[in-house]
Amino acid sequence: MKTLTRLLATATLTLAASAASALDIQPYTPQALAAAQQAGKPVALHFHADWCPTCRAQEKVFNSFKAEPGLDLPLLVVDYDKERALKQSLKVRTQSTVIIYRGTRETARVAGETDEARLRAALKSAL
């Protein structure tokens, strides 16, 4: 019984550790972006529109990364139709644009990309 308890405890800790180091998808807020950038941490912005089929395809790929260890960064989902000032300041011209930062330094930018390997590589560029 003690062995089973230890195994369950180890499995729980392993799952918790992998969840903590996986992609964290959350809505964009200026505060979340500023906090990550000021701390020099990796952060990604996904300019998403509900009406965009490419955005929905990207969303599926990003959701599959939520359980993937090694992608320890927040993905902030930006409402493409509402965040006009942010789009203008970052020179985002199309929905389905993903911008990845390490602090304030842009490490990758892709637009219209739905390939799992390319999206993963873009996210990893900041790690």
Could you read off the pLDDT of 43-89 as tens digits, one per residue?
Answer: 999 999 999 999 999 999 999 999 889 899 999 999 999 999 999 99
Q: Are strands 24-27 and 74-79 parallel, antiparallel or unpaired?
A: parallel
Going from N- to C-terminal start, the domains of the chain cover 2-124
In whole angstroms, give the CA distance from residue 114 to residue 56. 9
Predicted TM-score of the model (pTM): 0.83
Beta pairing, strands 74-79 & 42-48: parallel
* Assigned token pair, 12: 């729980």
**For the domain 2-124, what is the CATH superfamily, name and number?**
Glutaredoxin (3.40.30.10)
pLDDT at residue 3 in the model: 45
Could you tell me which residues come within 8 angstroms of residue 105 by beta carbon, excluding any fewer than 6 positions away? none
Res 95 pLDDT > 90: yes
Q: Which of 97, 102, 92, 101 is nearest to 114 (CA)?
A: 97
Place 19 in a pLDDT band, splitting at 50, 70 and 90. very low
